[in-house]
Amino acid sequence: METQESFIIEGLAGERKLTGEIKVGGAKNAVLKTLAGSVLFADEVSLERVPGIEDVSRMCEALEDLGAKIEKGETGKYKIKTDGINSSVITPAIAKKMRSSIVLTGPLIARFGSVSFPFPGGCVIGKRPIDIFLDAFKKMGAEVKEEDNNFTVTASGGKLHGAEIFLRLPSVTATETLMMAGVLATGTTVLKNVALEPEIASLGEFLNSCGAKIEGLGTPVITIEGGELLSGSEKTYLTPPDRIEAGSFVIMAALTAKDLKISDCDPSQMDALLESLISAGVNMEIGKDYVRVFDNENKTFSPVEIKTHEYPGFVTDLQAPMSIFLTQATGQSYIFETIYENRLNYLETISRFGARVRVLDSHRALIDGPEVLSGKEVESPDLRAGLAYVIAGLIASGQTIVHNVYYIDRGYEKLDERLRAIGAKIKRAPREA
């Protein structure tokens, strides 16, 4: 249930004071897809390092609605009992809370021969066409019917069959959804022009360890040989570190930290971000599983050009947090958002903090800096823009109030507690009527 809570932040007024260590949690974009993949299993799926975030709760809610039983053990340990899954209808009320519910369609139609689902919901950051999914299911022998924005996909003869599918866009979610659909299909499925995000390989490797036959992980072409239901007995999925959370903290550290270590992460998955920050003049030490940001108190940062791109390019989910960094760079920076249209809408609010922002169109913007930001009361429109507002509040003078904390909780576990532990003045409070 969504709670009406807010973050109240006392800004640092540009001072770099935060110190210590902040540990990165398990990857949201990896664990959600593995949870959805539990539908492919005859028995159970065990997971560790599961982040305590809203999106995980919503995916678990969806699985329980389908008939799964979920046991929560020690912190971050989950066991999904899948032998009781007996429905292939994704409840609209659940799906509309979470766009990643679409990933359930592949495993469900593969297991049951049909799936019913509404147009997926979640953050409003542009159109999310699902024709790429529907066209692929048709190629695998399914019939698609739409009525009142609800879709029913039925496989001919009750079973998907392998097909050669070229993705016109290298969509992460489509790659994962169709890869899982192929695991139980009859014959061979070949996916071309797939996304290369590391979470895909993480999911595929785990499925392979449980009986799937997937080849080409980490390459543009993935081949899946269909088979039987998988078995997760005595197998555990260890959720990899969240590269988006890690990147968010590195950006925040560059602007707010005296000496901060971002640990339990994989810097090799953040090359595009780290190179951009280094080129801007941010001082950091990059280790095997950490990034330490320090000695930037009197630094003048250079402007940079950011062009979002599929992995290994600059990830779109870090575009909003990075914009706050650009407000503090000396000169004019350029943002080119290539993945989603209208993902720059939040910049109007950033300008209210005092930033000099010029939105050129739905994909491009210019930011001039450096500019002293002043605290404001703002509404979080989505997960990543909400985090950007928190960073803006941390570097601003005065008090910032960020409403709609629910969106931020979808991807960042106990953010306020973790930031207080490194010296930030931030608290969570019920929203006043």
The residues assigned a catalytic role are 123
382 contacts 125 by C-beta, under 8 angstroms = yes
- Integer-rounded Cα radius of gyration of the chain: 22
* Alpha carbon 63 to its chain's center: 19
Residue/partner pairs of 419-424 with CB below 8 Å, 24 or more apart? 419/18, 419/22, 419/390, 419/394, 421/20, 421/22, 422/18, 422/19, 422/20, 422/21, 422/22, 422/257, 422/260, 423/17, 423/18, 423/19, 423/20, 424/9, 424/12, 424/18, 424/256, 424/394
C-alpha 382/C-alpha 126 separation (Å) is: 11
